[in-house]
């Protein structure tokens, strides 16, 4: 365990091996033809790959980053509504990072229930795999811009931004993450560890003595 809190993962080492061996992935030629000739097949394939591997918050960005043009409009799934409601209630309808909370006629806005271990990787729709986050922090959490280590918010060194980023994001580095009202609803350690190992973008920023 280094000073920054989160152990560097094996991922970097594995990536180095894959790059060195020039490992490539791709589709068979019959599948390639289908992709080329059937927009409907392409949509279904994209949906399947995204659902199986990434949380909803990253789907649109991945589609754009890969330069995929879908003729059919891409809709996000409406997942388990109970999960959202129970998680938000457990966290008192506040973002566990910044404390953001806003509502209109009793409907909470830009406040989401994030899966700590992604649904796509078998993460449960259970309260101990959930955390209430505002839309901004949900997206950054799913991207791995920050993780949780020993109850603290730890930002990645790989994420930089302007002054607004420092105010809304980096200023929470080293601070305690919000906890649910009831201790028994705390996130399971194994889910947090999964996020640290699989999602967080190493290396972590150092935590100064003045932070926290
Ligand atoms: Zn927030």
Which tens digits make up the pLDDT trace of 82-122? Answer: 999 999 999 999 999 999 999 999 899 999 999 999 988 99
Centre of ligand 1 from the C-alpha of residue 118, in Å: 19
In this prediction, residues 21-31 reach a mean pLDDT of: 85
pLDDT tens column, 114-163: 999 998 899 999 999 999 999 999 999 999 999 999 999 999 999 999 99
User: Per mean pLDDT, which range of 55-59, 171-175, 207-211 is the poorest?
Assistant: 207-211
Q: Ranked by mean pLDDT, which of 14-23, 36-45, 84-93 comes out on top?
A: 84-93
Residue 72 pLDDT exceeds 70 = no
SS (H, E, C) 187-210: CCHHHHHHHHHHCCCCCECCCCCC
- Quote the ligand 1 centre to 34 CA distance (angstroms): 42
170 vs 60 pLDDT, higher one: 170
**Residue 48 CA to chain centroid, in angstroms?**
18
Quote the pLDDT of residue 3: 41
Which one-letter DSSP state was computed for residue 105?
T
| Residue 210 Cα to ligand 1 middle (Å) | 22
What is the distance in A from the centroid of ligand 1 to the CA of 105?
21
Q: How far is the CA of 161 from the centre of ligand 1 (A)?
A: 16
Which stretches of 103-212 are assigned E, i.e. beta strand? 103-104, 107-108, 111-115, 130-134, 146-149, 152-155
Report the pLDDT value the prediction gives residue 5, as an integer from 0 to 100: 45
Q: Which pLDDT score is estimated for 171?
A: 97
Strand, coil or helix: what is 60?
helix
Q: Which residues surround ligand 1, an ion (CB under 5 A)?
A: 95, 97-98, 100, 134, 137
Round the average pLDDT of the chain to a whole number and report it: 87
Q: Who contacts 102 (Cβ-Cβ below 8 Å, separation ≥6)?
A: 108, 109, 110, 111
Rounding to the nearest 10 degrees, give the CA dihedral for residues 177, 179, 183, 188.
-60
- Cα–Cα distance list, 141 to 18, 48, 82, 107, 204 (Å): 26, 22, 21, 23, 13
167 alpha carbon to ligand 1 midpoint, in Å?
A: 11
pLDDT beyond 70 at 4: no
37 CA to centre of ligand 1 in angstroms: 43
Q: What is the pTM of this model?
A: 0.77
CA of 138 to the centre of ligand 1 (A): 7
Centre of ligand 1 from the C-alpha of residue 74, in Å = 26
> What number of other Cβ atoms are within 10 A of residue 172's Cβ?
21
- Whether the pLDDT of residue 75 is over 70: the answer is no
């Amino acid at each position: 365990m280094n000073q920054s809190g989160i152990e560097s993962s094996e991922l970097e080492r594995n990536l180095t091996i894959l790059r060195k061996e020039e490992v490539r992935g791709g589709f068979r030629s019959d599948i390639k033809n289908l992709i080329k000739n059937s927009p409907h097949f392409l949509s279904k394939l994209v949906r399947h790959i995204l659902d199986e591997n990434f949380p909803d918050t990253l789907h649109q960005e991945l589609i754009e980053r890969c330069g995929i043009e879908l003729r059919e409009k891409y809709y996000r799934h409406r997942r388990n509504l109970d999960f959202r409601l129970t998680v938000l209630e457990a966290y008192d309808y506040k973002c566990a990072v910044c404390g953001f909370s806003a509502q209109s006629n009793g409907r909470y806005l830009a406040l989401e229930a994030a899966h700590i271990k992604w649904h796509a990787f078998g993460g449960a729709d259970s309260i101990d795999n959930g955390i209430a986050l505002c839309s901004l922090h949900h997206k950054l959490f799913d991207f791995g811009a920050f993780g949780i280590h020993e109850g603290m918010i730890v930002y990645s060194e790989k994420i930089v931004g302007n002054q607004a980023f420092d105010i809304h994001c980096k200023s929470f580095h080293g601070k305690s993450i919000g906890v649910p009202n009831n201790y028994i609803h705390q996130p399971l350690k194994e889910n947090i560890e999964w996020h640290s190992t699989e999602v967080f973008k190493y290396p972590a920023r150092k935590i100064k003595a003045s932070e926290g």
